[in-house]
Structure 1
């Protein structure tokens, strides 16, 4: 890694920088970066102006030049080559590498993250470990050593680091940073492997033209086990694990043998390796699956010796407190991946369906809310679920049942005989190694079998709860999405704990959730009904006009209100009006056939209240026409008095605008109104013009939806681009 080749990339217009990212000079005129640094995230179009500042400030003077896009990946991978207007004086090119083993590799890189920004963008030295067994075909995982606090302002802490070149073994470029994994609290990044784009003929041709030689990959496989540092430099985990390891394995010869075998299993080169007690602690602290793998090798002894089992359990508990180690051993992790890979191809919706039922009250990884679970998502799912328990009771003195094991039992119950048998065998063996009581696992297995026999209750409504994120500078919302089924049971989608979202991002999450729900057995084909739960201030939101973007290259995008029946709900008012729900039930029962359409005779708020409490005390539907400055108070009055269906035109100024809603037949049967509104929104989107109304519809349900939960920003689960 050469600091002189570091590139700060700024893209935007002639007047304003709109995107900042990182790059690396790989030839005198070529800079490697992430493609999304160069494009408008809203439109996908390239920014018209891109400038590059080459060099690291501590290495001396930097140079500035303009640049243009030279190459992008033909299959849409997030990588690009910039052609500099002025060539750098630095000769030569870079060497490329590809991890091939199992052991985590130390890595480093230089980038310009938002968290390191002062008056200018300061460089940050990225460093940590790259575990080759995490990630996917086109994704490396980077466990970052020094990490900023998560972006509490709604922005990514690592924003600006996209495009950072990642090096292993001092000078082998192995990948390019493209994304921050927000689920890990800014401690993890994702990188695009160099092997995924070096094989592209156009890329190789450009590199050969500018350097004289095509790129070649050097394998990286033989990694030495981590060795203990001097006492004063050891991590707290290393220092605190040492006494427990001494109690567990007091014989130095036996301990060294276990350490060598563990290192060999984890993929390290153990030739001449003579580990000490401190080396074992360093190994356990460095490799996330080392502790569980050690436990698996010691399981036979623990099964025969209760006192040894107690010492081993004490080590696991201490490691959990220290945040050291994963649930699964390397062999268990690889075994589960193998079992689930084929399943994700044959039944891509099964894992998501089973997770929403088995872990109904847990916060699930984002991949489980998508319509299909891809093979590349399996590692994220497994790692995301390893820390969850299933929250049900266990016999006293036994460990809690991991949520991952409960999920595996549910997936096994819904799979064919051969796959189910393999998954249950894996679950039994893993539970035995963890010390899970056989009765506790049996209860989960019985629950899973009962669920698999029970016909799935179709989704009747998708509920999206919104709260404005007041801490964000731009328009952002905290979201929670719930699937409400015909039998009344809710399925909470992971968005409760996600970062705040722009309207476009919230719309995309909603579309993904609806698509996943439509794939469930017995769901059938129908236009989904989306209820948007808001507070009083949110009743003015034009949520139905939020656009998630085009779903693919062939179908044009449209607002969510044109695709789904989108209605508003404001349960917050029931906290202030104690008899509101009773009034709603009464109006639903007696007032479906009558609608109150306001006109000049309503006069004012007092006269409207008189009508709703006398002649229209049973009315279930109100169409609000009238002065725009009074509409907000009239709307709250209607809702407070228990009117469950209220329709109005957001653009209406006075009673003279009433005709714009006439095409909706606003006073027609209320049960058909949400679909009429959806069709109206679809027509107005397809044929835009000033004559259309912008209808808003409040529809309070006859039953009760799941109670809204406090929406707080926690460690988010949605990976986003780091720039």
Structure 2
């Protein structure tokens, strides 16, 4: 890049400037720029007057020269050539380049953005990274380091930089044509040189000049090199110390380094790094060490012990991943198939295989989506199995243990692929075959063990008091018939609207119904609330994305939805003992309040006297007294309480008669669901809106405290 070739372009009419842009002199009288700088956007016609200044202001004031549009791309690319009235001394010819490979390249350029304007247009030194794999190929993506913000007037801060020539390794590779506000003005886009230099019109104008016809040279990013020893980052210094014993021979080191650099997308011609340079390369990419260890393991089995020790110690370094790009991509392909064929398998396998690990968020939900797999694998790479392995061998990563459990329960072809991947990765890591075999035996035993169906889906709701909107924090627990408890956690659903909470619950029940052993058993939904939220009509909440064909319907229509208030036991500790007594002695006894019960004092007398063992209360009465009476019932250990949210007084008690409210309590939740379903199908026939509290024998299982801070990566539960 030669600053003397920089061009400031003004377009407009006589006496009036309407556009400002940038150009670059590629021949004595030819300036390369963006076409939109030269035309009136309203008419798409060239400005009648175009003037330019050639050269960087630091070289002194340059004259204002006339120019005219000479060429623009016939297929609409935003590039053009200007013909200048006076020739300039341009020095050496321009060299043209085409970025290749996968590794990002450093780029630079000079432009006149509006954000850098003062009394005059000042040039800005553009610089950053060009990632060849970003974008569609029609444009280069330029990730700019210094970036302006949008001004108070809302004008484009990059306006005026259009037409700037982009250079990589002193090769002109493209022309800036627009910015991308979606990336906070840190991203520019450029038309690649290879898209227009082969055009016959463009080539014709350069014929006869030393600069033409253009010849593109492939440019690849050079591998990083180590800096001064006293400023070497700790990770690079540690990696150099670990690599030095294994790669002391320069010839072997260069061969492995070139193979690694090619794998990472760098230019490798004449690449002969020192150990420090190789450490800098390994530290530049999280999967570089895994890639290098693969070639080392294949080349020299005698160095296995040293390589295993290197990998074990390197796991403690920041920015070093477990898997190579090949291993990572291969695992993602296999896990995508698992997600399609067994959507609940990975969370189930993780709950069993990694019982004491703090699981990634995506594994604490009922299913794992394909979009979550990349982040999921990356989080699991940091976890250790933490179980004993043969002395001198590498520990089994948690990721491999999960893969073995998933393979044990997957379809035959997928299982074979997962086991093959696991064996190859374990071999590269130096994991003892006996250690992997032990995990495989455990996984097989788990996969063949009968799965107890989920008896209840428990959702805990807490009102978000930080806002006036109706938003709730929620957590979900699966309670199995065998007494197992599985807490699900979704950080993205905090806080939720009622519709979002209903969708979360509905998705959980649907995923649970698809698990092995569940068959046609529909779980019972228990909503855990505190005493101030017992009025919530959760059974009437509808998911926020109803089925396009079936339409949405309330939760209470599909499931047995009951309320639970475990925190009442905190207010009256003997409540749990009273509940057990009532379940044991009075499951068939019911108290139906009538006008004789006029206040809370009389209700306490009834529940402590002749109805001391009653397990069920049908709470009729004045609406204004209902909240207090309900809390009295729960505090005195009544496990089943039914009431009509819409009732105003005792006169409305008949609306619950079709529910047979004093009948067998074990059938009551299903009768209530039938009632809600009928009311939804035939609106207006039944005015009652029943609510039902149902507490199990003893304190109901609850999801536990709502802690919404993420645990440190790689930590384990106590």
TM-score by length of 1: 0.64
* 1:173–1:242 CA distance, 2 compared to 1 (3 A): farther
Aligned to 1:317: 315
Determine the C-alpha separation between the residues in 1 that align with 2:683 and 2:182.
Answer: 38
* 1:417–1:237 CA distance, 2 compared to 1 (3 A): same
Q: How far apart are residue 615 of structure 1 and its match?
A: 1.0
CA contact (8 A) 1:249 1:255 kept: yes
CA contact (8 A) 1:481 1:496 kept: no
Aligned to 1:577: 572
* 1:468–1:418 CA distance, 2 compared to 1 (3 A): same
1:431 matched to 2:426: yes
Does 513-522 or 660-669 show the bigger shift? 660-669
Determine the C-alpha separation between the residues in 2 that align with 1:619 and 1:432.
Answer: 65
Aligned to 1:567: 562
The superposition leaves residues 590-609 of structure 1 with CA deviations (integer Å, 9 ceiling, x where unpaired) of: 22212112223222222211
1:603 matched to 2:606: no
1:480 matched to 2:478: no
CA contact (8 A) 1:366 1:494 kept: yes
Determine the C-alpha separation between the residues in 2 that align with 1:443 and 1:624.
Answer: 58
1:521 matched to 2:512: no
Determine the C-alpha separation between the residues in 2 that align with 1:606 and 1:530.
Answer: 33
Q: How far apart are residue 250 of structure 1 and its match?
A: 4.8
The superposition leaves residues 242-271 of structure 1 with CA deviations (integer Å, 9 ceiling, x where unpaired) of: 555556645555444333211222344434
Aligned to 2:536: 541
Determine the C-alpha separation between the residues in 1 that align with 2:129 and 2:598.
Answer: 69
CA contact (8 A) 1:364 1:493 kept: no
1:511 matched to 2:506: yes
1:626 matched to 2:621: yes
Structure 2 gaps of 5+ residues are 1-18, 20-39, 43-75, 80-98, 109-125, 135-141, 147-165, 188-217, 713-718
CA contact (8 A) 2:365 2:489 kept: no
Q: How far apart are residue 437 of structure 1 and its match?
A: 4.8
Q: How far apart are residue 429 of structure 1 and its match?
A: 3.1
Determine the C-alpha separation between the residues in 2 that align with 1:512 and 1:389.
Answer: 31
Aligned to 1:16: none
CA contact (8 A) 1:593 1:669 kept: yes
Determine the C-alpha separation between the residues in 2 that align with 1:677 and 1:235.
Answer: 67
Q: How far apart are residue 611 of structure 1 and its match?
A: 1.1
The superposition leaves residues 263-316 of structure 1 with CA deviations (integer Å, 9 ceiling, x where unpaired) of: 222344434545455554443344232232223333468964576247514641
CA contact (8 A) 1:499 1:714 kept: no
Aligned to 1:265: 263
* 1:451–1:258 CA distance, 2 compared to 1 (3 A): same
Determine the C-alpha separation between the residues in 2 that align with 1:299 and 1:522.
Answer: 44
Determine the C-alpha separation between the residues in 2 that align with 1:143 and 1:562.
Answer: 53
CA contact (8 A) 2:223 2:267 kept: no
Aligned to 1:78: none
Aligned to 1:86: none
Structure 1 gaps of 5+ residues are 6-26, 30-91, 109-124, 134-141, 147-166, 180-190, 192-220, 718-723
Aligned to 2:666: 671
* 1:144–1:278 CA distance, 2 compared to 1 (3 A): farther
Determine the C-alpha separation between the residues in 1 that align with 2:625 and 2:392.
Answer: 64
Determine the C-alpha separation between the residues in 2 that align with 1:662 and 1:107.
Answer: 79
Determine the C-alpha separation between the residues in 2 that align with 1:523 and 1:395.
Answer: 39
Determine the C-alpha separation between the residues in 2 that align with 1:685 and 1:129.
Answer: 59
Determine the C-alpha separation between the residues in 1 that align with 2:664 and 2:469.
Answer: 40
2:221 to 220, 224, 232: 224
1:646 matched to 2:641: yes
The superposition leaves residues 366-403 of structure 1 with CA deviations (integer Å, 9 ceiling, x where unpaired) of: 65577765655543443343334456555677655333
Highest relative contact order (Cα 8 Å, sep 6+), 1 or 2?
Answer: 1
* 1:342–1:613 CA distance, 2 compared to 1 (3 A): same
SS at match of 2:568: helix
Q: How far apart are residue 619 of structure 1 and its match?
A: 1.0
CA contact (8 A) 2:257 2:273 kept: yes
1:552 matched to 2:550: no
Q: How far apart are residue 234 of structure 1 and its match?
A: 7.7
CA contact (8 A) 1:360 1:492 kept: no
Q: How far apart are residue 422 of structure 1 and its match?
A: 3.6
Q: How far apart are residue 644 of structure 1 and its match?
A: 1.0
Q: How far apart are residue 419 of structure 1 and its match?
A: 4.1
CA contact (8 A) 2:459 2:703 kept: no
Q: How far apart are residue 346 of structure 1 and its match?
A: 4.3
Determine the C-alpha separation between the residues in 1 that align with 2:130 and 2:464.
Answer: 34
* 1:658–1:506 CA distance, 2 compared to 1 (3 A): same
Cα RMSD after superposing both structures: 4.6
Determine the C-alpha separation between the residues in 2 that align with 1:478 and 1:130.
Answer: 41
Determine the C-alpha separation between the residues in 2 that align with 1:456 and 1:229.
Answer: 55
CA contact (8 A) 2:659 2:672 kept: yes
* 1:542–1:234 CA distance, 2 compared to 1 (3 A): farther
CA contact (8 A) 1:504 1:549 kept: yes
* 1:317–1:411 CA distance, 2 compared to 1 (3 A): closer
1:489 matched to 2:484: yes
CA contact (8 A) 2:513 2:522 kept: no
* Match runs of 1:109-258 below 5 Å: 224=221, 227-228=224-225, 237-238=235-236, 241-246=239-244, 249-250=247-248, 254-258=252-256
Determine the C-alpha separation between the residues in 1 that align with 2:446 and 2:334.
Answer: 21
Aligned to 2:91: none
SS at match of 1:568: strand
Determine the C-alpha separation between the residues in 2 that align with 1:659 and 1:144.
Answer: 73
What is the number of equivalent residue pairs in this alignment?
541
1:447 matched to 2:442: yes
CA contact (8 A) 1:363 1:497 kept: no
Q: How far apart are residue 457 of structure 1 and its match?
A: 1.3
1:337 matched to 2:335: no
Please say which structure displays the higher CA radius of gyration: 2
* 1:434–1:564 CA distance, 2 compared to 1 (3 A): same
Q: How far apart are residue 458 of structure 1 and its match?
A: 1.3
Determine the C-alpha separation between the residues in 2 that align with 1:248 and 1:453.
Answer: 44
